[in-house]
Amino acid sequence: MIVRMPANGIVPLVEREGLGGPYWLLSFRHGETAREARPGQFVMMKAGLSAEPPLRRPFSILAVDRQRETFTLFVKAIGQGSHALASLGCGEPAQCLGPLGRSFTPPPPGTEALLVGGGYGVAPFRFLGEDLGHGAGRARLFYGGRTAADLPLLDRLTGLGLTVVPATEDGSLGVHGRVVVPLEAHLDEAKRPVRLYACGPEAMMHAVARIALDRRLAAEVSLDPWMGCGIGTCLACVVRVQGPEDARPRYRCACTEGPVFDAARVVWPGEDASGARRAAEHDGRGAPP
Amino acid sequence: MNLAVEIAGLRFKNPLIAASGTFGYGVEYEGVLDLSVLGGLVSKGLYLEPREGAPPPRIVETPSGLLNAIGLQGVGIHAFVRDVLPRLVRYDTVVLVNVCGDTVDEYADVARVCDGVPGIAGLEINISCPNVKKGGLAFGGDPRMTHEVVAAVRSVTRLPVIPKLSPNVGDIAVFARAAEEAGADALSCINTLLGLSIDVEARRPRLGFGTGGLSGPAIRPVAVRMAWQAARAVRIPVIGIGGIASATDALEFLIAGCPAVQIGTANFVCPGIYARILADLQAYLERHGLEDIGAVVGTLEYPGLPRPCDREVCE
């Protein structure tokens, strides 16, 4: 949950590193975000001080350095806003509002955290993996993409006490197949209780939500709809969510009530109720834990 | 140096007002900025009951602009008065409620709820939202309906009544006069321009609702022109709205004849914009040797026309 108000500021780029193709690691100095951010939270960013493009863009926080008062973003330059950000030189300013949104819920003691990151959706999981500590085997990251070039962050995820399992759809790196293939294989073998966390393309998060529901596992997803303001005033980034108390799904802002949601409470495209509600109504199993 | 202005009997400490639909209920910005910096703020549009709003996607970025179809999602007037207003009254700013309705009666009912509630200083009447199927533009697109809604609200409240006019009409002066005749105390000009953005791959509208309302710097010249036309058509004050992101932008509306302005889309882009615009407005006054922001209002030298501020003298 948000514990402090976000801070709005002009933040300089202090470090940039290309990871090949459209992928960049960009670090900005912003004491408030560096100090306060929790894994799963995001910042609203806009390169420079010019008017175009009009809106700031949301980016998951990849890492923070509290000593240096910096935070780092993993950016795929695919549109006007992300291109402008990736084109900044060191020392050049960006506009930043953060940290924003609801963070991931840490797993209970003795529970293995299974992180599922698709493409640049892996960004919040470096922060989460680091935060979960270095207990061996306590957290496992399934990192998927179409091809090896979609996993540019792979060698930056070592040394965190995180077991990383890459998967590519074309088999060029790691497990051959979608990222849920090694996830399901692991779940079939898992001896300990687990908790799932997913961030990536909507279809991938939907698939993880279905797996969690079928196996009655707790899961959180980090959703990524278009955002206008980041603080719940424009009401643009709504997603349909059905809480335990809701008779019908309701629109909730991903920026303030998310971006992290209980996967079983999300009403996915093409469905008319949350997974938890359908499970409860259709086979009387009740809501998942 | 005086930045305060008086509109419809209300004193605004400066001419900057946060526009409806771009500032939530105000309290969302607590902590990000000091709400007491604002001259005033207008709540998100409020019906009698809560509203779910339009299906997403709800916004599309366009050149220098934003196309939106939020569909007036809101908590309803009762929840606003009960839950939000007690937090807002702690700030030294003028709170206006944006009143919505599916019917003339609903507008009047919402106005009735607001009447006499401490902390609500006035009512902005939303007869111009393009993103709802009923009400909204149906009332703002027909001068007789505009008159009917404004008169209905006027008859049930002593609060200042400020209709927000639509740009999606042929001659805004006709609507400005209809609202004035029905008893409006001031006007807000303008709401968003009706637009359509198409995803050419899917061959579908980019917005879930279909069409949407365009805002942001892209619409500013249209907005300045229409606010100017409205201000020339009526004796009541006109609050200028449309793409303001700097003191220069605000001054265009002031010079065109608006004693105050609303800031909308810029709230999303830069939540701290008020302090900067106020500082720049003061610098402008200093540079021009003026003591009072009111000395700028209506000073447009338009070839062949009297200055807006001289109009009554000319008449």
Question: pLDDT tens digits for B26-69?
Answer: 999 988 899 999 999 999 999 999 999 999 999 999 999 999 99
The CA distance from A236 to the nearest CA of chain B, in Å, is 5
pLDDT number for residue A190: 87
Backbone torsion region of residue A140, taken as left when φ is above 0, otherwise alpha when ψ lies between -120 and 50, otherwise beta:
beta
Tens digit of pLDDT for each residue in B195-254? 999 999 999 999 999 999 999 999 999 999 999 999 999 999 999 999 999 999 999 999
Q: Which of B100, B129, B189, B258 is catalytic?
A: B129
pLDDT number for residue A283: 62
Residue A52 sits at the chain B interface (C-beta within 8 Å): yes
pLDDT number for residue B272: 83
Query: What mean pLDDT do residues B94-105 have?
Result: 96
pLDDT number for residue B107: 96
Residue among B21, B28, B269 minimizing CB distance to A55:
B269
Residue A238 host element (H or E) = strand A238-241
Q: Average pLDDT, whole number, for chain A?
A: 91
Tens digit of pLDDT for each residue in A21-68? 999 999 999 999 999 999 999 999 999 888 889 999 999 999 999 999
Lowest mean pLDDT among A129-133, A134-138, B116-120, B191-195: A134-138
Residue A228 sits at the chain B interface (C-beta within 8 Å): yes
- CB-CB under 8 Å, A225 with B56: yes
Query: CA-nearest residue of chain B to A99?
Result: B32
Query: Active-site residue B270, yes or no?
Result: no
* Chain A interface test: which of B248, B268, B274 (most A C-beta within 10 Å): B268
- CB-CB under 8 Å, A55 with B73: no
- CB-CB under 8 Å, A53 with B68: no
Domain boundaries, chain B: 5-53+72-195+215-314
pLDDT number for residue B135: 65
pLDDT number for residue A1: 38
Tens digit of pLDDT for each residue in A71-87? 999 999 999 999 999 99
Assess whether pLDDT exceeds 50 at residue A2. Answer: no
Query: CA-nearest residue of chain B to A3?
Result: B31
User: If pLDDT is split at 50, 70 and 90, which confidence band does A247 have?
Assistant: confident
Q: Specify the fold of B5-53+72-195+215-314.
A: TIM Barrel (3.20.20)
- Interatomic CA distance for residues B271 and A71, integer angstroms: 21
- Interatomic CA distance for residues A139 and A151, integer angstroms: 19
Query: CA-nearest residue of chain B to A51?
Result: B64
Tens digit of pLDDT for each residue in A159-175? 888 899 999 999 999 99
**CB distance A174 to A166 below 8 Å:** yes
Contacts of B28 in chain A (CB under 8 A): 231-233, 256
- CB-CB under 8 Å, A234 with B268: yes
Residue A206 sits at the chain B interface (C-beta within 8 Å): no
Query: CA-nearest residue of chain A to B264?
Result: A234
Domains annotated on chain A, with CATH: 7-100 (2.40.30.10), 112-283 (3.40.50.80)
pTM: 0.93
